[in-house]
């Protein structure tokens, strides 16, 4: 049995005759009659009752018609779905992001615009720090992610530049430090600092401490926290100062003031990172739109 048997059967049933079905399908009447007979033989039941007035459906034919319509509808739906997936119009993307990257507006706008243009591609968003994202992308657990790239990009992972941030000093609001304006790094030598453990992001940690050392500052780290949200909560509690991503200014915590650093710069390029193998067409569409 082939799909054409079902199409011929449905046409004959709906048009109530072989002749009308022949004209609609542009297939000869004998060919249609033969296909209907083959279908009835394959099923083992008569689908039509032959009368002088033409063909009428038997009880079996009535039941079979409903099922045949459903089968063809599902086949058509499967064909559409396959075409949409092949063209990147349907599918599922798992995308990671560093939380503060989404506050700038660029990331959130990119995600909203993609959902508007390609609504049938579902987005699964997972907040992760940069090393976690890169590991998940390489392992296939993420399709891509918005990462702050510091150092050499891992082999096999491509990146699309999105924006570049820098660092800023976060201090408790009650502290007088920085109230007069930007501060020099060397003036912070006696300041208690809060930082993240080196294991969280070794490349960035080393870059930050090296940049501080170049400006005559060795950070007096009193407390450690694994995320900038936790770090800023400790700053808010008055536990110390912190050098954090300037993106945090887009969502300032209570009782925290951000102060510009006169002579300390640690560029933080935000990139959308992914494995460029062409296997996921929806991902290719996302990257194309992002570019």
User: Over the stretch 192-208, which tens digit does the pLDDT of each residue have?
Assistant: 999 999 999 999 999 99
**CA 98, 99, 102, 103 torsion-angle sign:** negative
Confidence category of residue 16, pLDDT binned at 50, 70, 90: confident
Confidence category of residue 85, pLDDT binned at 50, 70, 90: low
Q: Are residues 228 and 252 in the same domain?
A: yes
Last residue within a domain, chosen from 71, 86, 101 = 86
CB 217 within 8 A of CB 246: no
Backbone phi and psi for residue 99, each to the nearest 5 degrees, phi listed first: -55, -45
* pTM over 0.75, yes/no: no
Distance, in Å, from the CA atom of 90 to the CA atom of 120, rounded to the nearest integer, reads: 5
User: What pLDDT digit, counting tens, does each position of 87-138 carry?
Assistant: 555 588 999 999 888 876 889 899 999 989 888 888 999 999 999 999 999 9
* Residue 217: how many other CB atoms lie within 10 Å: 22
Looking at the domain assignment, is residue 36 inside a domain? Answer: yes
Looking at the domain assignment, is residue 95 inside a domain? Answer: yes
Q: Report the CATH number at residue 235.
A: 3.40.190.10
Q: Are residues 82 and 109 in the same domain?
A: no
- 1-13 average pLDDT score: 81
Distance, in Å, from the CA atom of 209 to the CA atom of 195, rounded to the nearest integer, reads: 10
For residue 129, what are the domain limits? 91-156+278-290
**Is residue 84 scored above 70 in pLDDT?**
no
CB 272 within 8 A of CB 145: yes
């Amino acid at each position: 049995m082939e799909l054409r048997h079902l199409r011929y059967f449905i046409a004959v049933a709906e048009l109530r005759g072989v002749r009308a079905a022949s004209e609609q399908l542009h297939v000869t009447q004998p060919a249609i009659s033969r296909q209907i007979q083959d279908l009835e033989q394959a099923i083992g039941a008569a689908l039509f009752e032959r009368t002088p007035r033409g063909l009428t459906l038997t009880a079996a034919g009535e039941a079979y018609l409903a099922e045949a319509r459903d089968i063809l509808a599902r086949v058509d739906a499967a064909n559409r779905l396959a075409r949409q997936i092949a063209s990147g119009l349907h599918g599922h993307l798992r995308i990671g992001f560093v939380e503060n990257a989404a506050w700038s507006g660029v990331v959130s706008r990119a995600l909203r615009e993609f959902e508007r243009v390609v609504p049938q591609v579902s987005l699964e968003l997972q907040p992760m720090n940069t090393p976690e994202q890169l590991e998940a992308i390489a392992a296939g657990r993420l399709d891509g992610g918005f990462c702050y790239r510091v150092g050499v990009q891992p082999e096999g992972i491509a990146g699309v530049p999105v924006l570049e941030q820098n660092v800023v000093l976060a201090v408790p609001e009650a502290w007088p430090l920085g109230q007069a304006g930007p501060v020099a790094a060397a003036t912070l030598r006696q300041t208690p600092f809060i930082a993240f453990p080196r294991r969280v992001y070794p490349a960035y940690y080393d870059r930050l401490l090296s940049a501080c050392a170049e400006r005559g500052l060795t950070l007096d780290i009193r407390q450690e926290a694994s995320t900038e949200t936790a770090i800023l909560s400790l700053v808010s509690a008055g536990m110390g100062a912190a050098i954090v991503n300037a993106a945090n200014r887009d969502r300032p915590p209570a009782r925290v003031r951000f102060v510009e650093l006169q002579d300390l710069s640690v560029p933080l390029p935000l990139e959308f990172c992914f494995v460029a193998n062409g296997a996921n067409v929806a991902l290719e569409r996302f990257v194309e739109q992002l570019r």
